[in-house]
Structure 1
């Protein structure tokens, strides 16, 4: 008798839960429908002047982006390049306000380094505001010492000639080579490695690159 009562009680609670879920879903759908109706009404109420203004602003945005992209490409952005000279690094950092520098060594952690290079090569084509560089620590001991690189692999995030973060190993990306390009891009944005943050002043604790 007790088991039967518990059964009906559970059925009653389950029915209440289903009703609550159904009600919440309907409310969410209704709110979304009202939002879409509002957007549709706004579009329908636009006149020719409004459309011309939207078109003008869109063309202006595209033109500004085109000019910015050409500027970055003129500085060698758009690909992952290897640093070939210590003396070249500092002029690059002066001209390119955002740098991602992958410090590697051929006999240490090559699985990680090679995987990261693939990610950076792909990301460089999309993030033209950033200059992506790979740095062989064996060939550049002076730079390694100047940039305080002690562990391999290390990725330096540099903004306006200051090292703002060191990604030592890949613990921040899950500690293995299964992170995605989007994961790395999100990490860059989390440290404000993005041209829209270039007007910000760096912390006094940051180091000169």
Structure 2
């Protein structure tokens, strides 16, 4: 059996196991979250049933809204690595892209100016979209995955959903072929591919914070 075939089988085996583990983890989290939501609903309904005063009802409503906000903030903090853009090494590649639903991986070269431009835009987008993991991978130090994914042009940005490659952004062609494209242009492309969500408060697909 050739080394290439063995390598392919190893990757497929690891990916399959990681995806199964991910599904089990998501199911457990979903069940736990449903249990918590049911408990909160019961608690809130009991509060309202026992309350006849309108001012007190309003106060309880504000308390529930505050609890919901605190829960959301806690969930964001718990999801370590979301809302940031960081470099990974080749050994981290599979664990990184299979542990998140949405992953964006920039294959770069340290001496390429366009890779530095891509870094700048992905850094800005990552801070605005904690629903997606953003990584960069040094192509020189990652020969196996450069070959496996057939990376031929840098920068190349690979877009993964549950560890499966769905699309890729090669060079700057989709951004008009110019180095001076705006962050919002790249964000709109990621949005079109379903890798990020529309931010609340935006008037259109491109947030005003992503236009520079």
State the partner residue of 1:81: 86
Give secondary structure in 2 for the equivalent of 1:158.
strand
State the partner residue of 1:206: none
Taking the TM superposition and a 5 Å limit, the aligned residue runs for 1:94-109 are 94-107=98-111
Q: CA deviation at 1:179?
A: 2.0
Matched, 1:125 2:130: no
Residues 69 and 48 from structure 1, CA distance in 2 versus in 1: closer, same or farther, beyond 3 angstroms?
A: same
User: Which string of whole-angstrom CA distances, capped at 9 and with x for unpartnered residues, describes residues 136-167 of structure 1?
Assistant: 11110001122232222111111111111110
Residues 186 and 57 from structure 1, CA distance in 2 versus in 1: closer, same or farther, beyond 3 angstroms?
A: farther
Taking the TM superposition and a 5 Å limit, the aligned residue runs for 1:50-199 are 55=62, 58-73=65-80, 76-84=81-89, 86-107=90-111, 110-194=112-196
Q: CA deviation at 1:56?
A: 5.3
Rg bigger for which structure? 1
RMSD over equivalenced CA pairs, Å: 2.5
Q: CA deviation at 1:93?
A: 1.6
Segments of 5+ residues of structure 2 without an aligned counterpart are 1-53, 199-212
Segments of 5+ residues of structure 1 without an aligned counterpart are 1-46, 197-209
Give secondary structure in 2 for the equivalent of 1:138.
helix
Q: CA deviation at 1:78?
A: 2.9
Q: Following the alignment from structure 1 to structure 2, what is the Cα–Cα distance between the partners of residues 52 and 180?
A: 45
TM-score (norm 2): 0.59
Q: Following the alignment from structure 1 to structure 2, what is the Cα–Cα distance between the partners of residues 160 and 59?
A: 32
Taking the TM superposition and a 5 Å limit, the aligned residue runs for 1:37-56 are 55=62
State the partner residue of 1:41: none
Residues 173 and 61 from structure 1, CA distance in 2 versus in 1: closer, same or farther, beyond 3 angstroms?
A: farther
Count residues with an aligned counterpart.
Answer: 145
TM-score (norm 1): 0.60
